[in-house]
Amino acid sequence: TEAMKILFVSALMPYPLHSGGQVRVYNLLSRLSRHHEITLVTFLRDLSDKRYEKELPFCKKIITVYRGSAWQPGYVARSLLGDKPLLLTSYTHTRLREEIRRELEDFQYDLIHIEPWYVWPSLPTATIPMVVATHNIEYEVYTEYVHRFPIVPLRPGYYWDVLKLCCWEKRVWKHASHVVAVSQDDASVIRKSVRSAVPVSVVPNGVDVSSFRFETKKPGGVPVFLFVGSFMWMQNRDAVQWLMKSIWPMLAKRFSGAILRIVGRSMPPKLRELVANTRVTLLEHVENIEEEFHNADVLMAPIRIGGGTSFKILEAMACGLPVVTTTLGAAGLNVAHGRELLIANTEDKLVEAASLLVRSPKKRGEITRYARKTIERNYAWDTIAKSLDLV
């Protein structure tokens, strides 16, 4: 494709690779920069994150602005009093909007790419094309979260915020020159909203297949179950709560001496209390997640809130670790129950699926080999980056 000068606006510094969004943006930028000149504009959760600029040498220029946590009094107050939901309020930065406006005036950019869509409030009005990337259908994710929120009297206030989120999400899609979704399921939702006014393409999440080697663990010994996910995201907090309260006790009873390892950063205190005084190991600072995949017997991904596609499932499949997940956890992936992974939606069925993978080396081998082939065929970053290049 023809070389372009791209202004790429990211909600999160794309390094270190601690969350799915960081993995996605880092891998796409590193590959797109081989053909295009990219200026990265990114928000910082912590001012110390500026040090990671040196890990992004493929970007021609990097512009940063401090955002911090969404739950700051100023953001919360403006979301309560204004027309934007909290998510968008926390990405509304007047100074950055002015800085981007000057950047667009001073340099000849061909394209603006925003990822995800909710950084849109910090963009000035521009005449060049804008690609809007989505990682989830956010209003669907937040609706499910509010539906499960334990303090019932607070739900109406949260539903109001979700209603505003839904309106803004659809509005931004309609302002785009092109919308990028991570799955066909998400793309279908977006197409229904924009009708034929805006083209919608699928650029899935992926795996660096050279970094995640395929290796099948020998059966036998005490089974090790693994959960992986950043607790910055509500989907993972809910999944671990369900795992610890309902699923793990049944697995621990069935497999004497079984081990559960939870890998994830920023675990909230209430979840820590669930983990305390159990045969569960919490690992918050794992530098090599590949080792965790290779040392486990089954990845447990009991996702009840979600959208987009799960990086931990893709990476486990690449490594040869069999996956047990829900219909929602597998949504958006080109996989089938019994072929690349096992799908179940109740505690009993999830435990049965995990037990099958522990006790049947033959089934485990069939699933892991097919899963790796699917990753190499459909989810390698080099292939995925080419599809975004076409967009």
pLDDT in tens, 195-217: 999 999 999 999 999 999 999 87
Please answer whether residues 204 and 182 qualify as being in contact, where contact means their C-beta atoms are separated by less than 8 angstroms. yes
- Please give the pLDDT value at position 83: 94
What is the pLDDT, as a whole number, of residue 309?
65
User: What is the per-residue pLDDT for 307?
Assistant: 64
**Residue 179: burial class (beta carbons within 10 Å; 0-12, 13-18, 19+):** buried
- Give the pLDDT band of residue 71 (cuts 50, 70, 90): confident
How far apart (Å, rounded) are the C-alpha atoms in residues 53 and 63?
10
Report the pLDDT averaged over residues 14-22: 91
pLDDT-derived band at 120 (thresholds 50, 70, 90) equals: very high
Range in 78-82, 106-110, 145-149 with the lowest mean pLDDT: 145-149
What integer is the mean pLDDT of 354-365?
95
Instruction: Name the phi and psi angles at 173, rounded to 5.
Output: -55, -45
Q: Residue 306: its pLDDT value, please?
A: 74
**Pairing of the two strands 323-325 and 259-263:** unpaired
b/e sequence 226-257, b meaning 16+ C-beta within 10 Å: bbbbbbbbbbbbbbbbbbbeebbebbbeebee
What value does the mean pLDDT take over residues 87-107? 96
* Mean pLDDT score across all residues of the chain: 93
Q: What is the pLDDT of residues 239-265, one digit of tens each?
A: 999 999 999 999 999 999 999 999 988
pLDDT of residue 270: 84
* Omega cis (within 30) before 361: no
Is residue 97 within 8 Å of 126, Cβ to Cβ? no
Amino acid at 282: L
Highest mean pLDDT among 15-19, 124-128, 233-237 belongs to 124-128
Split at pLDDT 50, 70, 90, the class of 1 is: low
Crossing angle between the packed helical segments 138-148 and 155-175, to the nearest 10 degrees = 170
Amino acid letter for position 60: K
**Each residue's pLDDT tens digit, 151-178:** 889 899 899 999 999 999 999 999 999 9
> In this predicted model, what pLDDT tens digit does every residue of 269-322 receive, in sequence order?
888 888 877 778 888 888 889 999 999 999 999 999 876 668 999 999 999 999
| Lowest-confidence segment of 110-114, 208-212, 232-236 by average pLDDT | 232-236
Q: Torsions phi, psi of 196, nearest 5?
A: -105, 10
Q: What is the pTM of this model?
A: 0.89
Yes or no: say if 299 and 227 are a contact pair by the CB < 8 Å rule: yes
Residue 191 to residues 56, 173, 199, 208: CA-CA distances in angstroms?
A: 34, 9, 8, 29
Inter-CA distances, 81 with 29, 85, 161, 165, 219, Å: 37, 10, 11, 14, 58
Q: What does the pLDDT read at residue 219?
A: 67
| DSSP output for 155-200 | HHHHHHHHHHHHHHHHHHHHH-SEEEESSHHHHHHHHHHHTTSS-E
